[in-house]
Structure 1
Amino acid sequence: MSKRITVDPITRIEGHLRIDCEVDNGKVTKAWSSGQMWRGIELMLVDKDPRDAWAITQRICGVCTTVHAIASVRAVENALGLEVPVNAQLIRNLIVAAHAIHDHIVHFYHLSALDWVDVVSALKADPKKTSQLAESLSSWSLNSQHSMTEVQERLKGFVSSGQLGIFTNGYWGHPAMKLSPEVNLLAAAHYLQALEYQRKANQIVTILGSKTPHIQNLAVGGVANAINMDNQSALNMERLYHIKTIIDELGDFVKNAYLVDVAAIGAFYSEWTQYGAGITNYLSVPDMPIDTKGTEFSLPGGYIENGDLSTFKPITNYQDKYFEKGVAESSKHAWYKGDKGPLHPYDGETTPEYTDFQDDGKYSWVKAPNFYGERVQVGPLANVLGMLAAGHETTKHYVTKTVDMISGLLGSKLPLTALHSTIGRHAARAIRCAVIQEELKKQWDLLVNNIASGDTTTYNKPTFPKEEIRGFGYHEAPRGTLSHWTVIKEGKIKNYQCVVPSTWNAGPRDENDVMGPYEASLIDNPVADPELPLEVLRTVHSFDPCLACAIHLLDTEQQEIGKAKAL
């Protein structure tokens, strides 16, 4: 018998996402993804100075901060044809790479691990056996029996108090949970340790960006970081060497804890390589520019059709017409005015028009982006597959290493096609995290060597013409392909659109009523108990939704929510 379930909001994510499913005979047969708030920041930007857009757009979200700032300055620089000094490119690269590592660690351990890990079960574990298991998997220094015993005592304290604190929101004892008490204890220990390592990654962002969230050092044309080896107030070798120390510490955790944990969970839940594929057209963009014009990148990107890596078509630079012409957004099933079909972002409209939730009509504040008329999935899986197809050696190394680890634990070879799945998205995110950590080291070397050559330039001043100009800026953000699009006339913003990763993935049905990636990925997912839809959370969380980036609040009653006084 068919049953309709609504999960609203999907928890342990940023923003308000509603998922509706119809479940029949233990499987999802229909799905709707609905963003429950409106993002109106594009309207706020009209008539503003383009040099201020980056500072405003990064306020879209308190998590995805640096990414909007970077995409925004790149969009304005693209419109101007403005070159960016190499030092500025490398400093930006270090910031976004560190932010990505922070974001990936937080996602796996703190936003989605509890979909797979039964923390209460860890109270039954033998800390000695847990330590032996952990040490058989990696050389991570905090896998000792003492560490596991200490974590178990902390968990007992939570439970005995009747309050699970940070572990409150979980489906403990759910029939879909299958890890042993020892593996649950190991995962809980690494959950707590990960809090420290995501903080370390953010230290790099803070050192270079002045603060986090919402960095302060960007400018259209470069960065505001002064480079002076003899000045304690500037970027000097003391600060750069401190950053290098953090980079190495992050590598130890990512390679010896994060990658291993994902492999272990992938092996224990190998059946989840059969669920959650959904849309297998993949879009990613190149990143980590290392020249002034944005034509050379350390990390490749491009488009893959139907999961076939041989179809890979690269996106090559910031002037690439293939990417620029391919993006359009439909509002047919979104709460916006206009019946004009899919619109290119330069011509995009963001005028709200709310109706009730209509299964066959409008049901979301999120638009439905397409790439040359096709629905695509973005995110770490798209990024890893794109880099793999492009022959990126570091990616090939970590894909092979991760697949071999999972295969070893399984006792049978895991095919690469298993990545097209719920568990595959987690594996890809861990792989990307390791690749980004390696890239952090390379970008640090490039910056130090460039400074050593005598180059300390970090900024080129922009000049705005009176005539209309257009530009786009993209960035391969932690959640996938992010692009900002701007139309500028007489030095003021005429139109501005943000096409963000969670818009690509969380979008509703498009102009042709084709489901979006979240929706498509849920079809045929198992649901053991419709009253406790853990399996729905597993697949949706594997995308790492960030609905604050896709939507923002609209109060139709215009009631006062609160007051703030600027001091």
Structure 2
Amino acid sequence: MTTTRICVDPVTRIEGHLRIDCDIRDGQVVDAWSSGQMWRGIETILTGRDPRDAWLYTQRICGVCTTVHAIASVRAVEDALALEIPLNAQLIRNLIVAAHGIHDHLVHFYHLSALDWVDVVSALKADPMATERLAQGLSDWPNNNARYFAEVQSRVGKFVASGQLGIFAHGYWGHAAMRLPPEANLMAVAHYLEAMDYQRKSNQITAILGGKTPHIQNLAVGGVANAINPDEQSALNMERLAYLKTLMDELQGFVRRVYLPDVIVIAALYADWLPYGAGVMNYLSVPDFPRDTKGTDFGMPGGYIPAADLTQFHAVKHFGDPYFEQNVKESIKHSWYKGDWTRSPYDGETVPEYTDFQQDAAYSWVKSPSFADEPAQVGPLANVLAGVASGHAGTIGYLNTALERIGAITGSPVPMAALHSSLGRHLARCVRTQVLYDMMVENYQALVANIAAGDTTSFNPPTFPKGEQMGYGFHEAPRGVLSHWVVIENGKIKNYQAVVPSTWNAGPRNQNDARGPYEASLIGNPILEEERPLEVLRTVHSFDPCLACAIHLHDNARQTIVRVNAF
């Protein structure tokens, strides 16, 4: 039997530079390698700096995941100092986290991954009236009507007729694995365009509370910089709070009546894809949306699930939980860094040593994290499974509804085991978005009530004792578990490491040569056309890769690294 090597480099519709190599035999992937193609040096930049400034730098790891790094960074320093956070600050942070997460999930499904399943050109063959019947059978969304679908079809037709597909260029249109009927494709393209407006509304919430986005400006070690005064125009007042509620109400309709039905129908119409893309089934998530000042009570649970066995779920219970702290390690055995070690992030180093792509040695700038010495998948699927295992009512309710509706379309029950798949990750991300919306409402109501009760405190100033302090901060970011680890000595950063979701998922083989989640998830995937490996993209995109977070570029000598001409 002949084995063919294919290389997808770069993987597009992601943040950063990712290379995927696959060995194909008899139309299936039999081996895979995930390689990050740029070096992250933010940890090097932070050495010797004031810990209170770290969050401003770490936001620059990525232009998409800015807020999440800021949150994890201040939590790390606060953990090192055992610093308690005012309730208003927790609630404001939670609102930013929820809004950012909803924005991120909408962008990922519609604008970064839906085109792996939706054939834009096929939408030109659709009957707008038949599209209306399909869409209204799923949801009562106001734009699910023939007139709107015909307008969208006309706009797409002008792209095609001009020979310039614009934002829809370079897709694998007409690929044998694209099997949605034209009406489903037209509905999805219409919602793709609408999603641009609704992700913006979610981002407005982040900007109002954070001062700007990307790169929010309101955080501080010890709380937030938002002044709270219901009667002051320049502070967080009742007018701004009321406008936040207006944006939240507008966002609810799209999240509930468009995003959820779209994911359900695509999963149902591609039901034969539910067996593909499982890979690593050790799942890791962390709790988030703290409801108290100490980070011991959370709106969303998290923990570790070994080998997909929900009965073995072990909860992560609070900020600074030693169970999480003692089990996270990183290996550089197959990474372009100096040495061959597996260590806690507290002891991690970021010393580059490039050797070119060597599939049996070093082949990536991404390190390989492990939990309890095993690779772990992180992300919305891990988060949803933790919710199920811990009995989280919102998660269970939305998930059961989604699985029942998929089963109603396919005509057969869909077991929870179907979540261990590429499509399962999309469904879990959508379920998580529904819960994020609930969290946003809960935290908004709690903030308004707390201010109405007379509490306007938003900051607790930190103090830095002599000697050494160590701490870590975690956050369940849109792509999964994010943790920042800091060692402080006499008020300055001695060591800093960020272990990000795409490091967990995109990591190369670990210290025991076990494949990372991207690599493992590709094994067994069908490949219908080796020259157009759509199925590789489907599975990799289902993780929502952010290689800018997993790796970054920095030159201490401040030399010109690359020059780009903009046209």
TM-score, length of structure 2 as denominator length = 0.98
Residue 156 of structure 1: aligned partner: 157
* Equivalent position of 1:476 in the other structure: 476
Whether contact under 8 Å (2:474, 2:481) holds in the other structure is: yes
State the Cα distance separating 1:35 from its structure 2 match.
0.2
1:538 alignment partner in structure 2: 538
2:42–2:554 Cα contact (<8 Å) kept: no
SS of corresponding position for 2:216: coil
1:511 partner letter: Q
- SS where residue 440 of structure 2 aligns? helix
Aligned to 1:488: 488
Distance 1:4 1:562 in 2: 32
- Corresponding residue for 2:550? 550
Task: After TM superposition, list the pairs within 5 Å mapping 1:262-341 onto structure 2.
Answer: 262-339=263-340, 341=341
SS at match of 1:484: strand
**Residues 454-489 of structure 1 deviation map (CA, whole Å, 9 limit, x = unaligned):** 000000000001110000000000000000000000
Q: Distance in 1 between matches of 2:218 and 2:23?
A: 48
For this pair of structures, how many residues does the alignment match?
563
For each residue in 1:46-65, what CA deviation from the matched residue of structure 2 results, as whole angstroms up to 9, or x when unmatched? 00000000000000000001
Alignment of 1:82-93 (within 5 A): 82-93=83-94
Instruction: Check if 1:342 corresponds to 2:342.
Output: yes
Partner of 2:448: 448
Q: Secondary structure at the match of 1:306?
A: helix
* Residues 332-411 of structure 1: pairs in structure 2 closer than 5 A: 332-339=333-340, 341-411=341-411
Instruction: State whether residues 29 and 527 of structure 2, in contact with CA within 8 Å, keep that contact through their aligned partners in structure 1.
Output: yes
Shifted more, 68-77 versus 153-162: the winner is 153-162
In structure 2, what residue type is equivalent to 1:331? I
Superimposed CA distance per residue, residues 358-412 of structure 1 (whole angstroms, 9 cap, x where no aligned partner): 0100000000000010110000000000011110101011001110111111111
**Separation (CA, whole Å) in 2 of partners of 1:247 and 1:557:** 44
Q: Report 1:153-302 matches (<5 A).
A: 153-302=154-303
3-state SS, counterpart of residue 512 of structure 1? coil
Match of 2:425 in 1: 425
Counterpart contact for 2:320–2:471, Cα < 8 Å: no
- The answer to whether the 8 A contact 1:94-1:440 is kept is yes
CA distance in 1: counterparts of 2:50 and 2:562, whole angstroms: 29
Code of the aligned partner of 1:401: T
The equivalent residue for 1:147 is 148
Report the residue type matching 1:236 in the other structure.
Answer: N
Counterpart CA distance in 2 for 1:5 and 1:192 is 33
In the aligned structure 1, how far is the partner of 2:30 from the partner of 2:558? 36
Q: Cα deviations across residues 498-534 of structure 1 (Å, max 9, x unaligned)?
A: 0000000000000110000000000000000110000
Instruction: Provide the residue aligned with 2:517 in structure 1.
Output: 517
| Structure 1 match to 2:58 | 57
CA distance in 1, matches of 2:129, 2:323: 56
> Is the contact between residue 83 and residue 293 of structure 1 (CA under 8 Å) also seen in structure 2?
yes
Superposition deviation, residue 169 in structure 1: 2.9
Q: CA deviation at 1:289?
A: 0.6
TM superposition shift of 1:538: 0.2
Other structure's SS at 1:310 match = helix
Kept in 1: contact 2:366–2:551 (CA 8 A): yes
Instruction: State the distance in 2 between where 1:60 and 1:560 align.
Output: 17
Match of 1:42 in 2: 43
Supply the distance in 2 between the matched residues of 1:425 and 1:86 (Cα, whole angstroms). Answer: 33
For residues 28-51 of structure 1, the C-alpha deviation after alignment (integer angstroms, 9 at most, x for no partner) is 001000000000000000000000
Whether contact under 8 Å (1:66, 1:214) holds in the other structure is: yes
CA positional deviation for 1:563: 10
Amino acid at match of 1:442: E
CA offsets, 1:416-463, max 9 Å, x none?
A: 100000100000000000110111100100100111110000000000
SS across alignment from 1:234 = coil
| Structure 2 residue identity aligned to 1:394 | G
Q: CA deviation at 1:244?
A: 1.0
Alpha-carbon distance in structure 2 between the residues aligned to 1:557 and 1:388: 49
Per the alignment, residue 118 of structure 2 pairs with 117
Deviation at 1:553, TM superposition (A): 2.3
Correspondence for 1:138: 139
CA–CA separation in structure 2 for the residues paired with 1:538 and 1:211: 33
The separation in 2 between residues aligned to 1:557 and 1:83, in whole angstroms, is: 39
Contact 2:76 2:473 in 1 (8 A): yes
The one-letter amino acid of 2:176's match is P
Q: Which runs of 5+ in 2 are unaligned?
A: none
Query: SS of 1:20's equivalent?
Result: strand
Q: Is the 8 A contact 1:346 1:486 kept in 2?
A: yes
Checking the alignment, whether the CA contact within 8 Å between 2:23 and 2:29 is kept in structure 1 is yes
Q: Which amino acid aligns with 1:460?
A: N
1:59 and 1:65 in contact (8 A); partners too = yes
Q: Which residue of 1 aligns with 2:463?
A: 463
Gaps of 5+ in 1: none
Residue type at the aligned position of 1:494 = K
Say yes or no: does 1:94 pair with 2:95. yes
Give, in angstroms, the shift of residue 554 of structure 1: 5.5
Report the Cα distance in structure 2 between the residues aligned to 1:67 and 1:393, rounded to whole angstroms.
25
Alignment match, 1:502: 502
- SS of the aligned residue for 2:404 comes to helix
Distance in 2 between the 1:478 and 1:123 partners?
A: 33
CA contact (8 A) 1:37 1:554 kept: no
AA of the residue aligned to 1:479? R
**Structure 1: how far apart are the matches of 2:560 and 2:281?**
43
Provide the rounded CA distance (Å) in 1 between the counterparts of 2:470 and 2:558: 36
SS in structure 1 at match of 2:343: coil
- For 1:45 and 1:187, the matched residues in 2 are separated by 44
- Compared with structure 1, are the counterparts of its residues 557 and 23 closer, same or farther at alpha carbon in structure 2 (3 Å cutoff)? farther
